[in-house]
Amino acid sequence: MNPQQRRYADRIRALIEQAQRIAALERPAEKVGSFIQDGVQLQEWATKVRSIVEVTFGTNGAHFRQFQRLSDSLLQHAYEIRALEGFLRGALSDLEDGFLMSQEILIAGAIFESLIEEARVLQKAGHHQAAAVLSRVALEGAIRKIADTERVANAEDAKASILNDELKKSGRFNQPRWRQIQVWLDVGNAAAHSNNVSDPRAVSEMIAGVEAFMADELK
């Protein structure tokens, strides 16, 4: 997990501990049976749970839908709190086991794939330098995302070539993969910092290669 996700995990653990205390607040009442009578503590906890679920998992995924199903009615019984506690334990397990990172990789792959499609359109229109630069943007983004999942230090700030070296050292990339990535980075760098027209063939090979690389790595 990255530092932000670790903070989310710590928050979920704290709410799991609080759930047990909230459930223990259930008291018998005349005529209506037992329920949690301290509505202030109950609602404060439920609000915190909703907030961490939204922030961590978003509002369009399965986790938020499950939370809504469990909290759809007015919370007032210990068994309802225990059900939400179980949900939080499952959500924490998903977070710690890398479920979110897997989803981030898939989303990143879709974003970078769209950049490659734009690069291909530019290439066909004869804008070879722009196509090479855009391909390099997609490649660098993919490398950073891979480095992040591999917990490479300074993955957000280090140069792509340095991350490529680190991923080779860690065994994530083999020698041929590392060398090919460096070639693509060089083509992209030359296009970004030169007024000379990029070699159309080299750009075409770069686009196809980066696309295949992302298909292999971002899945």
Domain count along the chain: 2
Q: Are 108 and 132 contained in the same domain?
A: yes
Question: Which of 81, 96, 111 corresponds to the end of one domain?
Answer: 96
Q: Are 79 and 117 contained in the same domain?
A: no
Question: Which of 96, 116, 142 corresponds to the end of one domain?
Answer: 96
What is the 8-class DSSP label of residue 196?
S
What is the rounded (10 degree) CA torsion for 117, 122, 126, 127?
Answer: -130
Average pLDDT over residues 159-183: 92
What is the 8-class DSSP label of residue 127?
-
Q: Looking at the predicted structure, is the pLDDT value of residue 101 above 60?
A: no
Q: What is the pLDDT of residues 13-40, one digit of tens each?
A: 999 999 999 999 998 887 778 889 898 9
Q: Are 211 and 105 contained in the same domain?
A: yes
Q: Are 131 and 175 contained in the same domain?
A: yes
pLDDT of residue 23: 93
Q: Are 116 and 165 contained in the same domain?
A: yes
26 three-class SS? strand
pLDDT of residue 19: 94
Residue 204: domain span? 99-217
Q: Are 87 and 103 contained in the same domain?
A: no
Q: Looking at the predicted structure, is the pLDDT value of residue 42 above 90?
A: yes
pLDDT of residue 207: 92
Q: Are 117 and 206 contained in the same domain?
A: yes
Which residue has better confidence, 90 or 153? 90
Question: Which of 33, 61, 96 corresponds to the end of one domain?
Answer: 96
Where are the extended beta strands (E) located within the chain?
26-29, 33-36
What is the Cα–Cα distance from 44 to 42, expressed in whole angstroms?
5
Average pLDDT over residues 205-211: 91
Average pLDDT over residues 72-81: 86
Instruction: Enumerate residues 6+ apart whose C-beta is below 8 A from 83.
Output: 70
Question: To 10 degrees, what angle do helices 78-96 and 99-124 make?
Answer: 50
Q: Are 134 and 80 contained in the same domain?
A: no
Q: Looking at the predicted structure, is the pLDDT value of residue 41 above 90?
A: yes
Instruction: Enumerate residues 6+ apart whose C-beta is below 8 A from 167.
Output: 143, 146, 147, 150, 152, 173, 178
Confidence tier at 155 by pLDDT (50, 70, 90): confident
Q: Are 92 and 108 contained in the same domain?
A: no
What is the Cα–Cα distance from 211 to 115, expressed in whole angstroms?
10
Mean pLDDT of the chain: 85
Q: Are 213 and 108 contained in the same domain?
A: yes
CATH number of the domain that residue 159 is part of: 1.20.120
Q: Which of 20-24, 100-104, 159-163, 174-178 has the lowest mean pLDDT?
A: 100-104
In this prediction the pTM is 0.53
Q: Are 16 and 64 contained in the same domain?
A: yes
Q: Are 80 and 139 contained in the same domain?
A: no
